[in-house]
């Protein structure tokens, strides 16, 4: 059994909005806007990186080439997921087959690829819990607000991005000193400013989309 690691729509990389964890923000901010959004099933907030504008669209994916930018952990993990404290593999995942990276060496030891996956989950699993606490803290401090983004493209088409939330900067400015210090010590202040800075990636992403529409 092998796992295909190339980035491709047919391997499930065609995702417009990918859940991310706080620990990734500094890698993400150079490429993607980071927003909060709500899980459609539970209504709970999560953090996500925006990779495209339309449903199923990943503007950082060029078929036949590898990922153009830092690849969010949720895409790196491929067919693997956590089941309790174990790492499990989804055998029906399109990446799983006869080609690609082997999971084990001939002598039965885990391959460097599998070791990498195990390493990834060492960051990803606690990262999801940390991100949850980060969001809960921001909600209590009322630092999250909905944001409406309207985009107009050169071909005349328009997009209205819905269901996105970002940092409420007015409230952040008015936050009491002790709260700011608390956010700082927990590492949240940096995460907050990375999210704010990541908004600068929205026009960049829109420009990518514009080029695709044109050409």
Partner 1 sequence: MPDMIREIVVVGGGTAGWLTAGAIAARHQGRMKSGFKVTLIESPDIKIIGVGEGTWPTLRTTLEKMGVSETDLFRHCDAAFKQGARFARWTTGEEDDGYYHPLMLPQGFHQVNMAPHWLAQGKGRSFCDYVTPQGALCDDGLAPKTITTPEYQAVANYAYHLDAGKFAPFLQKHCTEKLGVHHVLADVAKVNQAENGDITSLTLKQGGELKGDLFVDCTGFSCLLLGKTLGVPFKDCSDILFCDTALALQIPYATPDDPMASHTISTAHSAGWTWDIGLPARRGVGYVYSSRHTSEEEATEELLRYIGPQAKGLTPRKIPIRGGHRETCWKNNCVAVGLAAGFLEPLESSAIVLVELSAKLIAEQMPANREVMDIVARRFNEVSNYRWGRIIDFLKLHYVLTKRPEKFWRDNTDPATVPDRLQDLLKLWKHQPPWFLDEFDRLEEVFPAASYQYVLYGMGFRTEVDPNDNEPTEDLAQQQAGENAAMTRKLRTQLPRNRDLLRKIQEYGLQPI
Which residues are near partner 1 by CB under 8 A?
A: 38-45, 139, 142, 144-146, 163, 165
In whole angstroms, give the CA distance from residue 18 to residue 49. 5
Q: In terms of CB distance, is 140 or 214 closer to partner 1?
A: 140
Residue with tokens 């960051």: 123
Smallest separation (angstroms) from partner 1 to the CB of 127: 21
- Least distance to partner 1, CB of residue 165, Å: 7
Q: How far is the CB of 38 from partner 1 (least distance, A)?
A: 4
- The structure tokens listed for 92 are 């029906």
State whether residue 4 is helix, strand or coil. Answer: coil
Nearer to partner 1, 133 or 204 (CB): 133
* Nearer to partner 1 among residue 120 and residue 141 (C-beta): 141
- HSE (CB half, 13 Å, CA atoms) of 5? 13
H or E stretch at 86: strand 86-89
In the complex, the smallest distance separating the C-beta of residue 162 from partner 1, rounded to whole angstroms, is 10
End-to-end CA distance of the chain: 39
Nearer to partner 1, 10 or 38 (CB): 38
């Amino acid at each position: 059994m092998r796992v295909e690691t190339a980035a491709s729509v047919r391997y499930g990389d065609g995702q417009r909005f990918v859940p991310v964890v706080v620990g990734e923000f500094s890698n993400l901010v150079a490429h993607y806007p980071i927003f909060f959004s709500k899980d459609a099933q539970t209504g709970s907030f999560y953090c996500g990186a925006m990779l495209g504008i339309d449903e199923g669209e990943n503007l950082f994916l060029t078929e036949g080439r590898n990922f153009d930018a830092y690849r969010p952990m949720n895409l790196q993990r491929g067919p693997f997921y956590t089941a309790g404290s174990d790492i499990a593999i989804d055998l029906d995942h399109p990446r799983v087959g006869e080609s690609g990276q082997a999971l084990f060496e001939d002598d039965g030891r885990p391959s460097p690829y599998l070791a990498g996956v195990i390493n990834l989950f060492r960051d990803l699993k606690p990262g999801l819990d940390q991100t949850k606490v980060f969001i809960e803290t921001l909600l209590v401090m009322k630092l999250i607000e909905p944001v409406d983004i309207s985009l107009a493209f050169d071909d005349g088409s328009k997009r209205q991005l819905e269901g996105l939330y970002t940092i409420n900067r007015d409230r952040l400015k008015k936050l009491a000193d002790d709260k700011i210090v608390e956010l700082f010590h927990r590492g949240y202040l940096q995460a907050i400013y990375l999210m704010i800075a990541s908004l600068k990636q929205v026009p960049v992403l829109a420009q990518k989309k514009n080029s695709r529409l044109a050409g």
